């Protein structure tokens, strides 16, 4: 089955031609409504939009297979986020690495209490709070981007006499895993950007 690209506005035939040559099934829906797009975006790999439709967070959450969004014209002000939840995940992963690094740096500090970020809970909170506001100039801004992760104290398996709750080997292992997850998310975003550029350039 070919990956599907939905074009929601009039576009030059060259775009359709290049996408088809690259193995995409192109769905031309120049007059598609927001509600219609909600129903069809679930199977789309790519989305080509103009200023006619607002691509907001509720719509993106339905786009389970979406890998990239292209904008006809200039500017991305009507797109909540080109890369959906991955942008927010990257920021939260970075914040978690900072917290874990602080734990490791204070492994010998008396009474230091190790902390961590509940990544899944923080990501759900960010999604729930993320909303768009329209300014007088007609541009859209997100009122809450990635935000700060929800910090929680770590309960150690083995307690320390000096009150320090950092278990160095555990924190090092968590940091290593968190760093790998950060790099995986980063590669995903970079891959989307690279793939989109290659498709539009006909490479």
Any domain includes 196: no
Output the pLDDT for position 77: 45
The pLDDT score that the predictor gives to residue 109 is: 95
Q: Is a pLDDT exceeding 90 seen at residue 169?
A: yes
Considering the domain architecture, whether residues 119 and 42 belong to the same structural domain is answered as no
- Count of domains forming the chain: 2
More confident residue, 39 or 146: 39
Is 113 a domain residue? yes
Same domain, 8 and 22: yes
In CATH, what number is assigned to the domain containing residue 44? 3.40.50.720
pLDDT of 14 above 50? yes
In a shared domain, residues 65 and 117: no
115 within a domain of the structure (yes/no): yes
Last residue of a domain, one of 55, 82, 109: 82
Residues 143 and 61 in one domain: no
Six token digits for residue 65: 């297979």
Choose the weakest-confidence range: 2-16, 87-101, 133-147. 133-147
- pLDDT tens string 48-106: 988 778 888 788 888 888 888 887 765 444 455 445 566 778 888 889 999 999 999 99
Q: Nearest to residue 5, comparing CAs of 52, 56, 67?
A: 67
- Full residue range of the structural domain in which residue 44 is found: 4-82
Q: Quick one: what percent of the chain has pLDDT higher than 90?
A: 34
Let me know whether 89 and 76 are in one domain.
Answer: no
Which carries the bigger pLDDT value, residue 198 or residue 4? 4
Task: Look at residues 19, 48, 82 and tell me which one is the last residue of a structural domain.
Answer: 82
pLDDT at 136 over 70: no
Q: Higher-confidence residue: 10 or 71?
A: 10
Four-CA torsion 36, 41, 44, 46, nearest 10 degrees: 90
Residue scoring higher pLDDT (193 or 135): 193
**Which residue's entry shows tokens 């690209």?**
5
Distance, CA of 50 to CA of 32 (rounded, Å): 12
Residue ending a domain, among 12, 47, 82, is 82
Claim to verify: residue 97 and residue 55 sit in the same structural domain: no
49 and 95 fall within a common domain: no
Query: Are both 178 and 104 inside the same structural domain?
Result: yes
């Amino acid at each position: 089955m070919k990956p599907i690209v939905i074009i929601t506005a009039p576009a030059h035939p060259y775009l359709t031609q290049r996408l088809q040559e690259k193995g995409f099934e192109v769905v031309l829906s120049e007059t598609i409504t927001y509600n219609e797009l909600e129903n069809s975006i679930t199977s789309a790999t790519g989305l080509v939009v103009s200023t006619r439709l607002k691509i907001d967070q509720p719509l993106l959450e339905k786009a389970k297979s979406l890998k990239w969004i292209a904008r006809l014209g200039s500017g991305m002000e009507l797109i909540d986020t080109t890369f959906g939840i991955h942008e927010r995940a990257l920021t939260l992963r970075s914040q978690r690495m900072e917290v874990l690094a602080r734990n490791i740096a204070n492994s010998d500090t008396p009474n230091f209490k190790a902390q961590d970020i509940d990544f899944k809970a923080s990501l759900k909170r960010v999604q729930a709070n993320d909303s768009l506001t329209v300014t007088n100039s007609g541009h859209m801004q997100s009122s809450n981007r990635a935000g700060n992760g929800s910090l929680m104290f770590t309960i150690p398996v083995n307690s320390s006499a000096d009150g320090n709750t950092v278990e160095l080997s555990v924190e090092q292992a968590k940091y290593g895993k968190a760093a790998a997850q950060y790099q995986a998310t980063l590669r995903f975003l970079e891959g989307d950007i690279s793939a989109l550029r290659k498709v539009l350039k006909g490479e």
